Copies of this chain bind each other. A is one copy, B any other.
């Protein structure tokens, strides 16, 4: 590996001058500049990022902290983020918080010790208070309400999305629509719940049917039995996320309850798996990849514009209609299924 000194020597200038052309900063005569660029090219010289980092307190690397990369929502996010970062000369450190015990603030320490230039937070396991202390670190927070001073928050209009989902179920003829809501420390779960409630409230003849879930496949599945016992005549389920909807689908399938004939099911997120289930799952699609991309772009912008202040971005969701909410003649079906009450 050649160093800046090698380049300088070969070009007959000082290291400082080479550094100036490298950073495109300060005056360099056109003549020397060209000479230096040629030498750099010929030698295949690349600046050592570690040395540069030490001098500039910079690393050209970003961190992406997710709950669990194994949750299908995150890989797509990560890919979008990585792509955008990469195009701007940054690389990406990945951190999972789930199953890492109390080590979460170790990730925060890392930010300092490795001069991580900025961080994307997509995990509720990180303590907001700790985050707040890092006010000098450019930060973008995903899908999570927060009162951090100097961060960009990117989320989807969950309230609107949930309304769309619920209205869609109404529109295909569902009249007993249950909602499986996610953990309420998660603001997205909260907003989705509110969206559901709003539609129920504003539509005559409907009433709230609520059951708590934990945003996992198994959690969704476990919910079903409970739901059917209490409300044997439900004809639609709006799950707070796709994972739970997938669990619901599995369970209904085991119970020989037909989707969408007996019960229609709608999820939320738009993860890829929704196209793999049988029947395919109707869902409220978030632009996941785009969110990752945008997060990285906004982050890099903030790196270049420190203390930019608070910013909130809300993206639109899109109703993706699939087999699990195909319109069927519900009055017939309901009769044959619910004979209880």
Contacts and interface: CB of A to CB of B under 8 A. Distances in A.
By CB atoms of chain B within 10 A, which of A94, A112, A115, A250 has the most? Answer: A94
Contact of A51 (B54, B79, B86, B250): B54
B69 A86 contact: no
A76 interface: yes
Interface string A204-243: 0000000000000100000000000000000000000000
Contacts of A278: 249-250, 253, 277-278
Given A91-B110, A278-B278, A79 B75 contact: no
Given A61-B93, A82-B95, A103-B86, A1 B112 contact: yes
A109 interface: yes
Interface string A81-100: 01100100001111110011
A91 B82 contact: no
Contacts of A276: 217, 246, 250, 273, 276-277
A78 B75 CA distance: 10
Interface in A242-283: 246, 249-250, 253, 272-273, 276-278
Contact of A69 (B75, B250, B272, B277): B75
A70 B272 contact: yes
Contacts of A51: 54
A68 interface: yes
B59 A70 contact: no
A94 B79 CA distance: 9
A78 B82 contact: no
A68 B79 contact: yes
Contact of A70 (B68, B75, B95): B75
Contacts of A181: none
Contacts of A100: 83, 86
By CB atoms of chain B within 10 A, which of A54, A59, A70, A82 has the most? Answer: A70
Interface stretch (A42-50, A142-150, A153-161, A312-320): A42-50
Interface in A1-55: 1, 46-51, 53-54
Interface of A: 1, 46-51, 53-54, 59-61, 68-70, 72, 74-76, 78-79, 82-83, 86, 91-96, 99-100, 103, 109-110, 112-115, 217, 246, 249-250, 253, 272-273, 276-278
14 contacts: A48-B113, A50-B50, A50-B54, A50-B59, A50-B114, A51-B54, A54-B54, A69-B75, A79-B96, A86-B103, A91-B95, A91-B114, A246-B276, A277-B277
The 8 closest A-B pairs by CB, nearest first: A278-B278, A69-B75, A94-B94, A49-B113, A50-B53, A49-B114, A70-B75, A50-B54
